[in-house]
A and B are shown apart, each in its own frame.
Chain A
């Protein structure tokens, strides 16, 4: 998809210092849209969640959703921002059919929250991310491009618009330039977006589902020769919609820009599109002329002036800050720092917490989520939480293992069936007859058969070489199709040959 020259990542970072800027859009989970009472719900038949306000029909007037303002303030507070005493909405004017009014209601120079910071951790090192602002706005509708290749806007004959999403409350969170992350830049960006996702979920202000676009990231990056102060020209890769893609897109841009600079060429200041297939980016709109959106204060809305009492009351509703929570869970769960770090970067903290709450030991919960289930999620290319097994089901599975109904090997088979949608672990065990055999009669027969089939091994065990028992246990397990209680099999072998 791309023919751009790339520099090796290590070489690029040896010469250039990346500077990041991240814009994250969070869709709020309010019941209704930002400025009208239409239901705020993902999907739906096209144009069934609209009204004259979100369709931009003449004579309709917006009214601000109080809950959305509350969510904006809580996000601002959680990001250690100042909350404006007085701020306004503004019209951002542009002509594109996904905004039916020909302007988006946003905030311009008076964001509701500003000057914050958060810390993220990558490989044991803490990076402080300064937050420039968090402002309120409305989402656009969805366009279907028809007649071009693979639904792209380029080459399309015409487009078809669904305005169900138009007017969905959005909070845009913008960082100050992030400097000094060196070769960790893509990982820091990923960790920051993961942290934001977890934060808005903990605040319960968003569904925080990246695969449905409820958290989206525009990633800006520029390079400057190491040691130089002034920033280079930047590119903005739009709508990067998974944590993995953020890391890939930035890695790609760094190696592409480095190759350009090294060849004495200029980086074009432009927006770029990310391609999931090969991890490349391609040129979009040129930003050489600064865009002129003719912002002006929204005349249809009066200012928002949150009282300090309200702000302080909302401050008391904030969840435990992520770093503090991690420390508490680390102590509760008894994980090593390394184990905890992996759990955090895999986005498995909530899943393990819920699994433990459902009754599983922490180490067992970690083993399933970070092992088998992470592999399955990776193979399927989905986030861990969407893998198809709930924390309650994982706890149920571990309960079956602890109760010796199944062993680890059978548990992995059970996972396959649960992921295939065949019911919960107990149901699957029941329906498939996957329970471990620990009935001595059946096991004893199998052990006798294994001894008879492997006389050399049996002799070794008789001579005291107990390590050889493994071969016989393997033979029994094979015969019992993995459904034998391995501990009991070992005991029987030693009894018979001891």
Chain B
């Protein structure tokens, strides 16, 4: 069941989190411990116990299809690091090799 350091490094890459070797050494065993703990819970949860999906015992929380006021473009863009022609300007998406 042990979670390898390579797997944790791969997860870090997927989440765009850069992890140093020290951080990997430190975090991989901790994550592994969490997984082990959850696995133990599954052992005791029999088939008659529904998986918990949400801490709130609710379903079907819906909103009526009614239009609410939107932000203005100025408001929407007010937190943007860079703006171009009313749009959010973002850095190049594909790297040189793509």
Q: Are B85 and A153 in contact (CB under 8 A)?
A: no
Given contacts A65-B63, A93-B14, contact A160 B89 (CB under 8 A): yes
Q: Are B67 and A97 in contact (CB under 8 A)?
A: no
- Does B59 make an interface contact (CB < 8 A)? yes
Give the residue of B54, B61, B84 whose beta carbon is less than 8 angstroms from that of A299: B54
- Does B93 make an interface contact (CB < 8 A)? yes
Query: Within the assembled complex, what's the spacing in Å between the Cα atoms of A270 and B54?
Result: 36
Given contacts A45-B73, A47-B76, A88-B53, contact A30 B58 (CB under 8 A): no
Q: How would you classify the secondary structure of chain A's contact residues: helix, strand, loop or mixed?
A: loop
CB-CB contacts of A134-157 with B at 8 A, as 1s and 0s? 000000000111100000011011
Q: Are B93 and A303 in contact (CB under 8 A)?
A: no
Q: Are B87 and A161 in contact (CB under 8 A)?
A: yes
Closest to A300 in B: B54
Query: Within the assembled complex, what's the spacing in Å between the Cα atoms of A292 and B7?
Result: 12
- Does B40 make an interface contact (CB < 8 A)? no
Q: What class of interface size applies to chain B in its complex with A?
A: 35 or more
Distance of A69 from chain B, by nearest CB (Å): 7
CB-CB contacts of B39-82 with A at 8 A, as 1s and 0s? 00000000000000110101111111111101111001101000
Across-interface contacts of B76 in A (CB, < 8 A): 47-48, 50, 55, 163
Closest to B50 in A: A86
Q: Are B73 and A47 in contact (CB under 8 A)?
A: yes
Q: Are B73 and A156 in contact (CB under 8 A)?
A: no
Query: Within the assembled complex, what's the spacing in Å between the Cα atoms of A303 and B76?
Result: 30
Q: Are B61 and A64 in contact (CB under 8 A)?
A: yes
Across-interface contacts of A66 in B (CB, < 8 A): 62-65
- Does A92 make an interface contact (CB < 8 A)? no
- Does B92 make an interface contact (CB < 8 A)? yes
Across-interface contacts of B72 in A (CB, < 8 A): 48
- Does B1 make an interface contact (CB < 8 A)? no
- Does B34 make an interface contact (CB < 8 A)? no
Across-interface contacts of A330 in B (CB, < 8 A): none
Q: Are B92 and A65 in contact (CB under 8 A)?
A: no
Closest to A303 in B: B59
Q: Which residues of A contact B (CB under 8 A)?
A: 30-32, 36-39, 45-52, 55, 57, 63-69, 86, 88, 93, 95-97, 143-146, 153-154, 156-163, 292, 294, 297, 299, 301-306
Seed contacts A37-B68, A38-B70, A156-B93; 16 additional CB < 8 Å A-B pairs: A31-B65, A31-B67, A37-B67, A45-B73, A67-B64, A69-B62, A93-B14, A97-B88, A97-B93, A153-B94, A158-B91, A159-B89, A160-B88, A160-B90, A294-B11, A303-B59
Q: Which residues of B contact A (CB under 8 A)?
A: 11, 14-16, 53-54, 56, 58-68, 70-73, 76-77, 79, 84-94, 98
Q: Could you pull out 11 A-B pairs where Cβ atoms are within 8 angstroms?
A: A38-B68, A47-B76, A49-B70, A65-B65, A96-B93, A161-B87, A162-B86, A302-B60, A302-B61, A304-B59, A305-B60
